[in-house]
A = this chain, B = another copy of it.
Amino acid sequence: MIAETPVPPYYAVIFTSLRSEVDAGYAAVAERMMALAAEQPGFLGVESAREGLGITVSYWSDLEAVRRWKAQAEHREAQRMGRERWYSRYRVRIARVEREYGA
């Protein structure tokens, strides 16, 4: 779904990734991380699609909320497993949303 975000400014974390050939554990942890993110203070929404390349954009109220989510204990463990097992390459970009429009 398209996230219902507030009037900018707010923050976007753009996570792009290519999967490795290791599947074990991935789907459950990915699903858990989406649910866990949604419980965090400052979480505004998330959008995700994979078509070879995976793109997940999560939206946050401010940079402090982004930092807290990166440092959240269960999420840190998931990040470690992602680096070691599930992703052959990934990129995280932290961006300040300045303008939004659409229909």
Contacts and interface: CB of A to CB of B under 8 A. Distances in A.
A97 B57 CA distance: 13
Given A50-B49, A53-B47, A97 B94 contact: yes
Nearest to A95: B95
A98 B98 CA distance: 12
Contact of A49 (B52, B95, B97, B103): B52
A41 interface: no
Given A2-B53, A89-B2, A14 B16 contact: no
Given A49-B50, A53-B48, A57-B14, A93 B103 contact: no
Nearest to A87: B103
Interface string A26-51: 00000000000000000000011111
